[in-house]
A and B are shown apart, each in its own frame.
Chain A
Amino acid sequence: MYTLSNVSFSYGKRTILDNIGFSMESGKCYALLGANGCGKSTLMTILAGSKKAAAGTLSFPDGTVCNLKTSGRSSLIGYVPQENPLINTLNGYDNLLLWYKGSGSELKKTIQSDLIQMLGIDSYLKRTVSKLSGGMKRRLSIAIGLINSPRILLLDEPSAALDLPCKQDIAKYLEEYNKKGGTILLTTHEEAELSLCDRYMILKNGHITEHEPGMPVDKLISLF
């Protein structure tokens, strides 16, 4: 069980996250939902280590505790932001190498692993990123998030602006990741992605409420 506790964050005098906390089980997928500007991306970036919270901890099943007031926990948590974190003038392989913890030869082995293979990025790793389509860039970004085998994968609107086939592929991939024991926390506005989730976390006025999945959209929206 991954446990998030007492997370607080403010922009100036405006409180975004007010002492929130929730738990996530291994191998499950959780949706972080809320109205625009409620703080979803802020919470994601705090968990990823890109922002520092005013307070809060994240506990791992093995007893590891991360203080969310510090940054730099990429070995534990993979983060795929909404905009692809790619260098356009480099090829896919160099972009992966930048974020990979190990050596180049170890990367080649990792790319051959099941999860990365599922993303189907082999065929365009040598192409410059600027020449890739949106879907290919997205898969590459997800590969970057997963390349260091993190325990939790954070995805910020993973299939936004992608075509239907691509959305389906990514959904399949996320299911596979869950099956292999990975935990996913994603933000989304797509119903198809909601159907993958085991639980909804709704963020409103700085507080989190947990809900069972499968409720009608109208009811869901009324909770925002």
Chain B
Amino acid sequence: MIAVRFFLLQFKLLIKRIPQMILVFLLVVFLALCTLFMLNRIYDKLSPTEKEKDANYIAVVCPDEDNTILKYAKDILDQVMGSASSLFMKNENDKEGGNKLLNMFAGTGDLLKFKFMEEDEALNAIKNNQILAVLYLGQDDLNKIQACQTAELKIIVRDDSEYIPVICVELVNSFARLLTAAQASSLAIYDIYTNTELDGSLYGAMYDIDMSNFSYAMHRNSVYQRVTVDFSTTNSPISFYTATALTFMLFLVISAFTPALSDYEPSFCKCFKTRGIGIVGFTIIRLVSFFVFQFVTLTAVYSLVYFAFDKYFNDIFNEYGLTNMLGLNLSYGKAIPIIAIFALFSSAYVMFIISLIKNSEESLMIFFMFAAGLMLLSGCIIPSAFFPATFRSIMTFLPAWYIHKLFLMIIEGVSITKAGMVTYGIVCSLLLAVSAVLINVIRLRTDSNYEK
């Protein structure tokens, strides 16, 4: 009975915070609209002209520092194409040969139009919107291909939502088909060091393409390695930092829910225990009440926005070109589970913060420190490409990474129900909720022990 009463009284406490939350929410919406409006204007100025959009080819950059690698790659293409063309781009003859080769490939429909370029030229071309993408085959990548290991394909694309999925899928598909064709050909695979023919069965390869993650995987003799195209460097600064701003604003809205620890006197938990409800039960009841409250209020707000949007706001947003940028393409039913995940995340985040603060004056400082730190470590402020590879894997378990990615996908019109984002959200939220409960329990236990 006391658990239910406490749950309902928590609700009452949270309802008392609604006026404060509304003010924060209105402020955040105002700031978000100003930001989007401003960025939309900047985005218009940076968008490619009609003439530039015709330049729809892709540059391939491949260093030729190692002649052995060059020979291997050339041999593969020779086997596939039946012609001896030089491919690599340190001199004009190589470029011409490579381009001829690729034009032949283009005719088969397997590749988009490719063009070999030097690295600097390719990067300048993409910055100036002269090309759609750069496929970068680094030294290590070619070594790995030679050794029949999985290579990481680095693709830099222009910030154009219409082309990104198409380009990357096509690139991955084509590259995989290229290797498949090379290895499945009836011609022998050569050991390039000894120049001897090897048993083709040793290199029985299978290629799985996971389009939702744009990953390319190579399977060799039951050893399975998966690599994912690194998209963290492929978003334009505008999209990236719009998502960063929205992520920060979201944390700001959530912080309005944060009740101070001074809501409870230290002996409150002690009395709770006299009812047979321990610190863990007390903490879980609080977390559940936050979750239910968040879910109910967010669903109500979303319903209001969803059903009122078309009627009142659509024209205004369209006039300023904001609808496209917002990319609100979720059906009402599909949004509810997303809201539930978000409610779980935000209630866990609130619990996490209140375990660190002693009073409401500290809450703002702790919020900013925690949100800023979390966003920095999650690659929301400095892109994750600048962090070590090991750390990048850990990043994906931080909630800010997930939220930032979600906003980025919404901005770029990518469906968020694919690419495992929902799973990520559930896992992140559950991990944060468990951490929040544990930290709260430890904090309350420490406080009660201190009173001894």
Q: Residues of A at under 8 Å CB distance from B?
A: 11, 41-42, 45, 48-51, 71-74, 77, 79, 81-90, 94, 97-99, 101, 144
Contact = CB atoms under 8 A, between A and B. Distances in A.
Given A77-B274, A85-B270, 13 more contacts: A49-B275, A50-B274, A51-B273, A71-B274, A74-B274, A79-B271, A81-B267, A81-B271, A88-B263, A89-B263, A90-B12, A98-B6, A99-B2
Contacts of A79: 271, 274
B13 A99 contact: no
Contact of A89 (B16, B266, B271, B278): B16
B265 A90 contact: no
Given A45-B270, A50-B270, A84-B267, A72 B12 contact: no
Contact of A94 (B9, B262, B273): B9
Given A42-B452, A94-B12, A98-B9, A87 B264 contact: yes
B388 interface: no
Contact of A88 (B2, B5, B262, B274): B262
Main secondary structure of the interface of A (DSSP, over half): loop
Contacts of B263: 87-89
A141 B6 CA distance: 17
Contacts of B107: none
Given A81-B270, A98-B9, A49 B276 contact: yes
A50 B449 CA distance: 12
Nearest to A100: B5
B389 interface: no
Main secondary structure of the interface of B (DSSP, over half): helix
Contact of A85 (B1, B13, B16, B271): B271
B28 to A, nearest CB: 24
Contacts of B312: none
Contacts of B268: 85-87
Interface in B401-452: 451-452
A101 B9 CA distance: 15
A50 to B, nearest CB: 4
B11 to A, nearest CB: 11
**Most chain B CB atoms below 10 A, which of A81, A82, A144:** A81
B117 to A, nearest CB: 65
A211 B271 CA distance: 30
Assign chain B's interface to a size class. Answer: 20 to 34
A78 B347 CA distance: 33
A98 B10 CA distance: 11
A101 B264 CA distance: 20
Contact of A83 (B2, B267, B273): B267
A88 B276 contact: no
Contacts of A77: 274
8 contacts: A50-B270, A51-B273, A72-B275, A73-B274, A81-B270, A97-B9, A99-B271, A101-B1
A50 B265 CA distance: 15
Contacts, number: 75
B273 A50 contact: yes
Contacts of A73: 274
A101 B278 CA distance: 18
Contact of B265 (A45, A83, A94, A99): A83
Contacts of A94: 9, 12
B9 A11 contact: no
A87 B13 contact: yes
A142 to B, nearest CB: 13
Given A90-B12, A94-B12, A98-B6, A74 B267 contact: no
A149 B259 CA distance: 32
Interface in B17-56: none
A71 B267 contact: no
B12 A84 contact: no
B262 to A, nearest CB: 6
Contact of A90 (B1, B9, B266): B9
A49 B13 contact: no
B275 A85 contact: no
A90 B13 contact: yes
Nearest to B278: A71
Contacts of B266: 83
A97 B271 contact: no
B276 A97 contact: no
A71 B273 contact: yes
Contacts of B278: 71
Contacts of B277: 72
B1 A50 contact: no
A48 B1 CA distance: 18
Given A88-B263, A98-B6, A11 B452 contact: yes
Nearest to A39: B452
B196 to A, nearest CB: 73
Interface in B236-276: 259, 262-268, 270-271, 273-276
Nearest to A103: B1
B360 to A, nearest CB: 10
Contact of A98 (B2, B259, B267): B2
Interface string B270-294: 1101111110000000000000000
A85 B5 contact: no
Contacts of B5: 97-98
Contact of B267 (A82, A88, A89): A82
Contacts of B1: 101
Contacts of B262: 88
A88 B270 CA distance: 16
**Most chain B CB atoms below 10 A, which of A51, A71, A98:** A98
Contacts of A48: 271, 274
A116 B263 CA distance: 25
A4 B14 CA distance: 43
Contacts of A84: 265, 267
